Amino acid sequence: MTSTENATRNGVDTATLFATLDAVRADADLAKFQFRATNRWLSGTHNRSTIHGFHGAKQEMTHRQPFTFDADHPPVLVGSDNGPTPVEYLLHALAACLTAGIANVAAARGVALTEVSSTVEGDIDLLGILGLSDEVRNGYQQIKVSFLVRGDDPEKLRAVVEQSCRRSAVFDVLTNGVPVSIDVSTD
Amino acid sequence: MTSTENATRNGVDTATLFATLDAVRADADLAKFQFRATNRWLSGTHNRSTIHGFHGAKQEMTHRQPFTFDADHPPVLVGSDNGPTPVEYLLHALAACLTAGIANVAAARGVALTEVSSTVEGDIDLLGILGLSDEVRNGYQQIKVSFLVRGDDPEKLRAVVEQSCRRSAVFDVLTNGVPVSIDVSTD
């Protein structure tokens, strides 16, 4: 913790990263977060989410601005293509989580990165969501992530990706599932 | 199928929706889709995905434009807040999928909608991803969706939401999980 105190590696402020870990070690309640999105239906399959406030580190916080995202279906799925489909956002979330983790893990380990790029593919048979088969699941049947990682020694890079998967929130949710409760008000 | 042939209900082109269902009934291969996202690391926890091409209905297709999305961590999580966190995109994907389903199911059933809005909350204990506990999972511990749906008879509206959950791709993936494979190249 001497030479790394003020270091920024791969764009990661490692001093702050280690200080954050120390703070959470001292007070585990700092680690309890709640993230949120609000969504409003616009027309047909077109709707818009806003992501702004969240709870964490024992306080209400906001992103520096509200982020809004449109989702829709393309014409082939009877939509107007005002945004990606909801299932495409899942692929983005997975790539983004693993990539942020790669940057953080690499920084913590002193592994240099020059490039991290990825392609995520999700195979889905729409017989499920169209209600045309009870044997086909509604969601993706499989997701494949292909990473290209450059920088340090290949073996170190592979170990970093592995550790990122091992500690990825989105990878965990997608591979293991999570309880979802739905509440409906019609007032 | 007479009076609905040319109807657009809740912004859903029900004639095309029913025609699409008929086409897929006649040729199940039309229902095989592959969605994709590509992602590039920018710096630290900041990265950007592009969503453009996909395969479906037996052909390569593209959205009418490439959609790009930035993900990052907020300062409290040692990022620069250039976009929502990856886990927040999951909440958006869930709200978007259920809402599109509500619009489609309602249209197919002849149920009028005047409003569909929702809030999605995901609780996560970061002790997992921070590597500070092996007993805490990395992902959300639970997700709660609260819908406000207005329009037709409340009982019909509730039944529409229920059917949307029953046929939602994102709801299925999040609640049941999906196999994810990771490939790494360091060339």
What would the pLDDT profile of A57-77 be if each residue is shown by its tens digit? 999 999 999 999 999 999 999
A187: confidence class by pLDDT, cuts 50, 70, 90: confident
Min distance A78 CA to chain B CA atoms (Å): 6
| DSSP per-residue string spanning A130-149 | TTS-SSS-SS-SEEEEEEEE
Residue with tokens 């809005």: B117
Q: Does the beta-carbon distance from A31 to B102 stay under 8 Å?
A: no
Residue A127 has pLDDT above 50, yes or no: yes
- B99 contacts A73 by C-beta, under 8 angstroms: no
| A 14-53: CB under 8 A from B | 16-17, 20-21, 24-25, 28, 31-47, 49, 51
- Other CB atoms closer than 10 Å to residue A4's CB: what's the count? 15
State residue A122's pLDDT score. 98
Residue B57 gets the label, from left (phi > 0), alpha (psi -120 to 50) or beta, of: left
Angle at A11 between CA A7 and CA A13, to 5 degrees: 45
Distance from the B97 Cα atom to the nearest Cα atom in chain A, whole angstroms: 5
> Hey, are the CB atoms on A20 and B77 less than 8 Å from each other?
yes
Tell me what percent of chain A is helix, strand and coil, each rounded to the nearest 5.
35, 35, 30
Interface test with B, best of A16, A45, A143, A183 (most B CBs within 10 A): A45
Residue A6 pLDDT > 90, yes or no? no
Helices (H) and strands (E) in chain B, counts: 4, 8
Binding-face residues of B in 77-106 toward A, CB within 8 A: 77-79, 81, 83-104
H or E segment at A98?
helix A86-109
pLDDT tens for chain B, 187 residues long, are 334 444 788 899 999 999 999 999 999 999 999 999 999 999 999 999 999 999 999 999 999 999 999 999 999 999 999 999 999 999 999 999 999 999 999 999 999 999 999 999 999 999 999 999 999 999 999 999 999 999 999 999 999 999 999 999 999 999 999 999 999 999 8
pTM score of the predicted model? 0.96
Please report the ipTM that was assigned to this predicted complex. Answer: 0.96
Asked if pLDDT for residue A3 goes beyond 50, the answer is no
Q: Do A184 and B76 touch (CB under 8 A)?
A: no
pLDDT of the residue at B9: 86
Of A97, A127, A167, which has the smallest distance from its Cβ to B28's Cβ? A127
**How many beta-carbon contacts under 8 Å exist across A and B?**
465
Q: What percent of chain A has pLDDT over 70?
A: 96
Looking at chain B from residue 127 to 146, which residues have their Cβ under 8 Å from any Cβ of chain A? 127-133, 137-146
C-alpha dihedral over A85, A87, A93, A98, to 10 degrees? -140
pLDDT at A124: 98
Nearest chain A residue to B78, by CA: A17
Three-state DSSP at B153 gives coil
Shortest CA gap A26–chain B (Å): 11
Q: Is A58 on the interface with B (CB under 8 A)?
A: no
pLDDT score recorded for residue B85? 98
Q: Quick check: A174 and B178 CB within 8 A?
A: yes
Q: What is the pLDDT of residue A141?
A: 98
Residues of A in contact with B121 (CB under 8 A): 34-36
Interchain contact, A180 vs B171, CB within 8 Å: yes
Query: Higher pLDDT residue, A149 or A3?
Result: A149
How much is the mean pLDDT over chain A?
Answer: 95
A175-181: average pLDDT: 98
In A, minimum Cα distance to B86 occurs at: A93
